[in-house]
């Protein structure tokens, strides 16, 4: 069974890191409305564009989603 993007993102959490993907993961963890079971890029993108003031650039999401897809193919 495929894991959700959120489950993948949680593997990037690191409270001591200043890397953009780690900060995104840390903030998503604190976002109680984050769509935790979603896999679809478009739905995640729409949510983040409308609700994630903590994400300074959608490029961070795009890069993390690309990694999510690559890992899931293995």
**Would you state the pLDDT for residue 19?**
96
**Would you state the pLDDT for residue 48?**
98
**Would you state the pLDDT for residue 2?**
82
**Would you state the pLDDT for residue 71?**
84
Structure-token pair, residue 67: 């990694």
State pTM to two decimals. Answer: 0.92
Query: To 10 degrees, the CA torsion angle through 50, 31, 21, 15?
Result: 150
Query: pLDDT truncated to tens, each residue of the chain (74 aa)?
Result: 689 999 999 999 999 999 999 999 999 999 999 999 999 999 999 999 999 999 999 999 999 999 999 986 65
Q: What is the CATH superfamily name and number for domain 3-71?
A: YozE SAM-like (1.10.150.260)
């Amino acid at each position: 069974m495929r894991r959700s993007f959120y489950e993948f993102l949680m593997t990037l959490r690191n409270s001591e890191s200043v890397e953009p993907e780690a900060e995104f993961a840390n903030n998503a963890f604190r976002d109680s409305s984050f769509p935790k079971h979603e896999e679809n890029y478009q739905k995640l993108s729409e949510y983040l564009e409308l609700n994630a003031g903590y994400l300074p650039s959608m490029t961070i999401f795009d890069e993390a989603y690309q990694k999510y897809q690559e890992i899931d193919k293995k």
